[in-house]
Structure formats: C-alpha cells, structure tokens
Amino acid sequence: MHTPAIFLLAAMATAAHAAEQPSPVSPPAAPAGQQQPQPTYLDYYHNLLSGLMVLNGILANVKDKESADQSAELAFAIYENINEIPRSAALKHTSEEEQRRVDALYSAAKQAFTQNLQQHIRNIVLHKNYSSDHMGELIDKLAENDWAADHPSDSSGLQTNPAKLQSAEQEMSSFLDQTLEQIENINTLLQTVHNTVSADLAAEKLAAFMQQTEARRDQLSEQHAQTPPNMVERIIQSRMQRIESGKAATKAVQKKLEQQNYYGSQTLKKALLKFAYRF
C-alpha cells in the first residue's frame, strides 16, 4: 500500500465504501496447505498511515452533533482496520535492518499525521464532543493507542526542496485524476452488466484496474516517501466533489448488482467486495 503522503490518493476516492459494507472482507485465504503470509513492519506502517489519513479526513469534518455522530461511526470502522496489524506482531517478522529502513522512511510522516489527528481531537474536545456520546467513546479509544499519542512535531524528515515538491504534487495530482477517471469508467462498465458473461468480463477489468493502480501507487511510494501530508490533503480536498460523486455512483451500481445477485457471477461479487475493502 504506499507512501506516507500518497496512501489515499488511490484509496480516498472510495475510502468510505469500506465503512459502508455490512462487514469487513478478509483478504483471500492462502491455498490449502500453505500458511497465510504474516504481516511485516512495512505492512504495519502502510496500514497505520493510510488509516491515520482517513481518520484525519473524517474528524476534520466534525462541526455539530449530527456530523460528530456520523463521523464517529465511520471512524470506528477505520480504527478497527488500523488495529488489524499490531506493531508487536509485525516486528516479529521483520529484521532489525528492515525495521530501521522503514522507520527512516515513514516515522516523520507518522508524526505529522498524528499531530494533525491530535489537533482535530483537541478541537472536538474543546466543543465537548459536540454532545455526541459516540464521539466521546471514539476519543477514549484513540487515547488507548500509542499511534494516536500526542508527540512533539518533527518535520525534519520531510521533503522541503521546492522543485521536488512541485514535481511530487504534479505526479500525485495526475495519479489521483487518472484513478478517479478510471473509477468513473468502471462505474459506467458495471452499469452495462446484464448477464453472467458480462459480469465476469467486468470483474476481470476491475481486477486489472486494482492491480495496476496498486502497482503505480507503490512506485510513487518510493519516489515521494517524504512528501508533507498537508500537500496530499490539499490535493484530495480540491477533488472532494468528484470523489463523492464517484462514491455515490459506485454505491448505486453495487446495490443494483446485489439485487440481481451479481447475475450469478461470484467473480464479480468478490471483486467488488475487494474493491470496497482495499480502496
């Protein structure tokens, strides 16, 4: 999954979908006789930073009791996802050398994301959780985790070169725009599904899209690992209307396909659930 600054450029376009699913979808099981791969320290960081980015986006929109209640419900789902890969478990499957490498890449971004999260929490607490008991429960839960602890700000590991920052913003903006366009194309394709054959074909294209998007995302991870998180937030916020539109379209077409039992295509059903969970 990605770099501190760009985890959500692929995921944010449909991030809320995962929280709207009736239940989380587990990753595909390992073939019979093979052990499920154990999470590494890199997996831990990827999962943590993408989750922190989503939490920041959710809590930034809290402004009254209604939005506090709604945001708390979404945030609890993300909270559970973050805790799926404990740091202690990940360290068991990571060498000390790899741990140092990963920390060097991502620790500054973790601090920056955590600082943003704490700012949102302080604002909510200042407003007495906007009278939302559910939001109060969420904040209590966050206080129990070291990844949500308030640490001194340290941006020394983040990129500051203007030319490199401009290049990073252009590449990430282009990546998000292309991802959103492809999601729109996928939604259009899904609307044409009318039988098992067309459903299976749509599933193949959806799977190919996810594979290509994740590959490009990982490539950008290595190139722009130290991009400041506020740059990504700015890129995403400027496209929120398009993101929300894509989200609504995906939700509508998925509901239609569910009503038709995916035209008998288990392949499409699994692909859509994976899409909602991973993106």
Pick 218 or 216 by higher pLDDT.
216
Q: Mean pLDDT across the stretch 191-206? A: 96
pLDDT band of 110, cuts 50, 70, 90: confident
101 & 59 share domain = yes
Which residue range forms the structural domain that includes residue 93? 38-158
**Do residues 191 and 25 make contact, with C-beta atoms less than 8 angstroms apart?**
no
Half-sphere exposure of 138 (CA within 13 A, CB side): 30
The 10s digit of each residue's pLDDT in 5-21 is 344 454 443 333 333 33
**Do residues 6 and 220 make contact, with C-beta atoms less than 8 angstroms apart?**
yes
Task: Indicate whether 42 belongs to any domain.
Answer: yes
Q: How far apart are CA 78 and CA 95, in angstroms?
A: 28
Instruction: Please identify, among 138, 158, 178, the residue that sits at the C-terminal boundary of a domain.
Output: 158
Task: Indicate whether 11 belongs to any domain.
Answer: no
Q: Is the pLDDT of residue 273 over 90?
A: no
- pLDDT attached to residue 4: 36
Task: Indicate whether 259 belongs to any domain.
Answer: yes
The 10s digit of each residue's pLDDT in 24-49 is 333 444 455 555 578 888 888 888 88
Instruction: Please identify, among 158, 193, 218, the residue that sits at the C-terminal boundary of a domain.
Output: 158
Instruction: Please identify, among 100, 123, 158, the residue that sits at the C-terminal boundary of a domain.
Output: 158
123: tokens are 């604002």
Domains of the chain: total:
2
pTM comes to 0.54
